[in-house]
Structure 1
Amino acid sequence: MRNQINVLCHFLLLWVVSSCTHTPVSEGRVKTNLAVPYEAIGVLSPKSIHEVKNDLTLGCEVLDRDYADYHQYKEYIVPLGLKKIRLQAGWAKTEKIKGVYDFAWLDSIINDAVGRGIKIWLQASYGNPIYEGGGTPYLKGGWPTSEEGKTAWNRWVEAMALHYKGKVYEWEIWNEPDINKEQIKDYKSLTDLNIRTAEIIKRIEPDAKIAALALAFADAEFLEKCMQDFKERGKLELFDWISYHQYVFRPEDVYPKVEKMRQVIQKYSDHIKLWQGENGAPSKGYMGGALGAYQWSEVSQAKWALRRMLGDHGRDIATGIFSIADMNYGGNDAIKKKNVKGLLETNEQNQVVRAKVVYYAVQHLASVFDLLQHSVDVHRFEVKTDYPYSLFAYQDEKSELQSFLIWYDEATPTNFNQPTPVDVEVAGGKFKNPVWVDLLTGKVYKIPAGDISKHGDKYCFSNLPVYDSPIMVVDQSLIKYE
C-alpha cells in the first residue's frame, strides 16, 4: 500500500493534481498547476531530524483518548524533519484505579520517540472523573476543582515527573482552558493549577522548561490577569513560555493580537517567550474542530501551514504544526466530527492511508529552516506591488549570503496558483547565484540572468513570481535538491 500512487483532484477554483507516494521521500511528490516562467532544475531534498537543527514542534496529540495511533504513523516523523513532538499525558488513561499509575501506554510512545532522537514536549492534561471534582478527560471538560481532585492531580504530576525524569525536559500545563467559559471566570484557579504543577515538575527536574496557560485565544486582557497573579505570588520564574493557539482563517490576522500579548509579557518578565503551541488548517471543508467553516482543500491547507509557521518564526515566536495525523474524535468530546488537520490521511481505524500535500510542504520548509536563523532588516527591501504581502529575510552565518521569503497575504489561502510578477529591490543585498523555490511543491527554479541586476549595493529582481503561498529566493549553494 505504501508504494501506491494517489491522485488528488477536484479543487474549487482550478484543477489541481497532486501525486504523492505513501513513503515520505521521492521526487515530484506534489504537482500543481503553478506556471513559473523559469527553468526547473530540481526538487528540494528532504532532511530527516538527524540532518537539521530546528526546534519546530509536530503535534502528536489526542493519543490519550485514542483518537489517533502513534504506532501507525511513527515512521513518518523522522523523515519530516521536525525535531520535537507535542504529546498529551492523559491522566485519566494513566490512573484508572485511584493511586495506581500505569504509564505503559505512554512509555511505548515516549521511549520509541526518544529512541529515534525525537524531543518531547509533554502536556499535563486532562482531568480524571474517578475523583469527585477531578474534571473530565475531554477538551473543555474543566480542570480539578475539589480538594480531593487537586491533591490527586498533584500526586499524578509528581509520579509522572519522576517516571520521565531524564527523558522529558519540556512541559506544558493543561490545554485550552479558556474555552470553558464558566470555569475560566475563576482565573486564579487556573494560575494556581499552573503554579502547583510547575513547582512539582521543577522540584523533580530543576532543568525543566515549562509553558504556562496553553490558551486557545490570544487574549491580552486575560493574559494580563494571569501574569499579574503570577507576579503577585512571586512565581514568574517558574515559566519559560506562554503558549497559545488562536486559530484564524487568514494566518496573518492573528499577529496584532499576538503582539499585544507580547507587550503584556514584556511588562512582567524579560525571560518568558511566546510559543504558538497548536495550529493547523483542515484539508476538507466543514469538518470537525477549528476553522471548519470554509471549503478547504489539501493545497489551501498546505499554504496555510507554511504561512502560519513562517509568519510565527519571522516574528520570533516558537512554532510548529498541528497535527501529524487526522483525528477520529469520540462522541463525548467537544469536537463531534473527524478533525482532518492531519499531515497524514487516516482511516476510521487510525491507520495511515497516505501523506497529504501539507506533509510534503512542511517537509520542504524543514529542509531549509536552518537557513532562517539570522534575520535581515526587511526595510532594506522595496517590493513594487499593489497587493498586500508578507516578507521575511535572513542571512547565512557562514557565507553571509542572503535569502528572503515572500507571499501575498490578503486573504485566506485559496486553490488559485497563478503568480503575479513583482519587482524586488534589496539595498545592501548579498546574493551570488540565487534561485527561486516554491515551498509548496519543493521545486527549484533558475532565475534568468536578465531578471537580476545590480546597481551599486542594490540588487534588483525583476518580474519575480509571487502568489499566496511562500516562495523563497536563496543561493543555490545553500540548499540541497535532486
Structure 2
Amino acid sequence: MDKLTKIGEVAAVPSTAVKTSKIGIGFEKLDRGVFDPSKAYDKVAAIGVKWIRLQSGWARTEKSKGVYDFAWLDDIVDNLCRRGLQPWLCLCYGNGLYDEEAAKVFGAVGCPPIKTDEQKQAWHNYVVAVTKRYQGRIGWYEVWNEPDGKWCWKHGVSGTEYGEFVKATAAAIKVGDPDAKVIGGSMCLTGLGWLNDVLQTGAGECMDALTYHSYSPDEVGGFERVRSLRAVCHAFNPRMEIIQGETGTQSRDDGAGALRGGAWTPLRQAKFLARHTMADLFDDVMFSSYFSCMDMIEALNGVVGDKSSYLDYGYFGVLGADFDENGVATGDYTPKPSYRALQTIAAIFREDVKLAEMPLQFSAGKGSPRLLRGDDSFKDLQYHGFRKSNGSAGLVYWRSTELLTTSYESTVSLEAVKLPEQVRLVDLVDGSIYTLPPAMIEDNGRGVRSFLHLPLRDYPLLLTFGDFI
C-alpha cells in the first residue's frame, strides 16, 4: 500500500445504530458458564454485528423436574437486546434429570432427549417454556447443535432420527410462539446423505432455514457446498433460507477444536475471518455468524467430575482471554486483529448493501512496476460487486492463496464504465482507507477508466466508487 495515500480509517458503527445486517457472531457455551458475559457485552456491541448466537442450556435451566430458572438467560438476552443485538437461540443440550448418560457428560452435550416418552415430553415442555418466554425478543430457534457429528449426537449419528426430532421440536416451538421461525441442520460435515435423510422425514416442511458450519482454511470450496445445500433444501422446501451458523479458526497453533495444530497467528485468523465472511456475502446467505466472540474451552467431550477432560482451550475468539483453574475465561477480554476486521466489515456491509454485477473487467494492464512482470490474472481471484441505494458501488477482491503457507502481495488492473468518480481503496482487515495516485488512473475520454496496478492481497480489499463507505 506504500504507493497509496492513507486518508483515514473506517469508523466503527455500534450495533445500536445498525438496523439490518447479515453479519453476526457467536456468544455460545454460556450454558456451561465458560466466560463472563458482563465483560463482553459492550465490546461485542462495539463490533457492530447484528445477529448473535446463544445456546439455551436446558440442564442449566431445569435443575428440578418441571421447574425452570431462566434468570441467567434472561440477563444475557436482555443485555444483548438493549445493545441493539438480535439473539437467535440454539435449543440444546440434554438433561441429566431425565437421562443417566446425560448426567455423566459435562453440560449434557450431545445427549438428545429421544429415548423415552418422559424425555420427549420433558423436552417438549422445556421448548414451549423457552419460546413462550422470549416471544418478541427472539424470533429464530435452531434445533440442536452439530447433530451430524458424533460429539453432539453421541449415541450414533442418524439423519432420520434427527429429522423426527426437528419435527417434534418445531411443534413445541410453535406452541410457545406461533410466529417463531425454525432452523434445522446446524450441520458441520459436508456430505449430503445425512441431510437427505433428515429432509426425507418431512422435517423440511417445518424448517424456515438450514444452518451449516464451515471450518476449512479454504473458503472457495464453500461456494459449491452452499449451492449444493441450497439446491437440496429447495427440492424439499423452496422457501428455506440458508444461514452460515459457525465459521472460525484459531489465533495460535496450540488450541483445541477445529483446525487445531495449524500454523495460525492473530493475523492469519483475521485474514481467515475476512475471507470467509465476504465469501458468505458472495453466497447471499441470510446471515453469517463468526465463531466466536471469546477464547474459551471447547467443552464438547467433558466428563462430569473429570476437569481435565474439558479443559481443552480454543482460541477462536475475536477477543482474547486468560483462563482460571476451572477453564473459565478471565482477564480483560482484549481485541485481536480479527476484532477490527469484523468491525470494519460490519460497518460497511450493513443496511441496504446488495450483491450486484459491476460494469468493469480485469485487464492485462501494462507491466507492473511492483512485480517486474504483468499483473495477476482475474482467473486467480475471488471477487464480487455490491451496490447501495445512494448510487455508490464497491468491488471486493482477493487471491485465495493458502493462508498457512503463503503471505501474498501482487497487483491487478481493471477497466470500468459508468461508475461514480470518487474512488477509494479500503483494507478490510485493518480498516485503512486510501486514495489512488493519479498515475494509477487513466481516462480514455470516452467514458472508460482504467485502474492500474491496484494492490492485491491474500485477504479482501474493497475498491469503492462514490460514497460506499
- Length-normalised TM-score, structure 2: 0.88
The match for 2:189 among 208, 217, 220 is 217
Q: Secondary structure at the residue paired with 1:278?
A: strand
Shift of 1:145: 2.3
Change in 2 beyond 3 A, CA 1:360/1:185: closer
Number of the residue aligned with 1:100: 67
Shift of 1:216: 1.2
Change in 2 beyond 3 A, CA 1:302/1:353: same
**AA in 2 matched with 1:388:** D
**AA in 2 matched with 1:327:** M
**Deviations 1:236-278 (CA, angstroms, capped at 9, x unpaired):** 3422110010311222222222221111112122210111101
Change in 2 beyond 3 A, CA 1:321/1:373: same
2:425–2:436 contact (8 Å) kept in structure 1: yes
Shift of 1:286: 3.0
The match for 2:124 among 150, 154, 173 is 154
1:124–1:173 contact (8 Å) kept in structure 2: yes
2:410 is the alignment partner of 1:420: yes
Number of the residue aligned with 1:324: 293
Moved over 6 A (4+): none
Structure 2, unpaired ranges of 5+: 304-308, 365-375
Shift of 1:182: 6.6
Matches within 5 A, 1:36-435: 36-52=2-18, 53-132=20-99, 135=102, 136=105, 137-180=107-150, 183-230=155-202, 236-317=204-285, 318-330=287-299, 332=302, 337-349=312-324, 350-351=329-330, 352-370=332-350, 373-377=353-357, 380-382=360-362, 384=364, 385-386=376-377, 388-398=380-390, 400-412=391-403, 416=407, 419-426=409-416, 428-435=417-424
Aligned-pair identity in percent equals 26
1:36–1:465 contact (8 Å) kept in structure 2: no
Shift of 1:179: 0.8
Change in 2 beyond 3 A, CA 1:182/1:77: closer
2:433 is the alignment partner of 1:444: yes
My pick for the range that moved more, 137-146 or 292-301, is: 137-146
**Deviations 1:284-340 (CA, angstroms, capped at 9, x unpaired):** 013111011211001000000011111011111121211001113457168652110
Give the Cα separation in 2 of the matches to 1:406 and 1:143.
46
Number of the residue aligned with 1:462: 452
Q: Secondary structure at the residue paired with 2:40?
A: helix
Shift of 1:475: 3.2
Shift of 1:459: 3.3
Give the Cα separation in 2 of the matches to 1:357 and 1:197.
39
Give the Cα separation in 1 of the matches to 2:59 and 2:122.
11
1:46–1:367 contact (8 Å) kept in structure 2: yes
Change in 2 beyond 3 A, CA 1:378/1:144: farther
RMSD: 2.2
Give the Cα separation in 2 of the matches to 1:413 and 1:41.
31
| Number of aligned residues | 438
Give the Cα separation in 2 of the matches to 1:360 and 1:476.
23
**Deviations 1:341-400 (CA, angstroms, capped at 9, x unpaired):** 0010111142334111100110011111127722222685325424722101012222x2
**AA in 2 matched with 1:113:** L
Give the Cα separation in 1 of the matches to 2:201 and 2:117.
21
Q: Secondary structure at the residue paired with 1:412?
A: coil
Give the Cα separation in 2 of the matches to 1:411 and 1:394.
26
Give the Cα separation in 2 of the matches to 1:469 and 1:260.
25
Q: Secondary structure at the residue paired with 2:223?
A: helix
**Deviations 1:149-174 (CA, angstroms, capped at 9, x unpaired):** 11111111111112212221111110
1:173–1:213 contact (8 Å) kept in structure 2: yes
**AA in 2 matched with 1:127:** G
Number of the residue aligned with 1:29: none
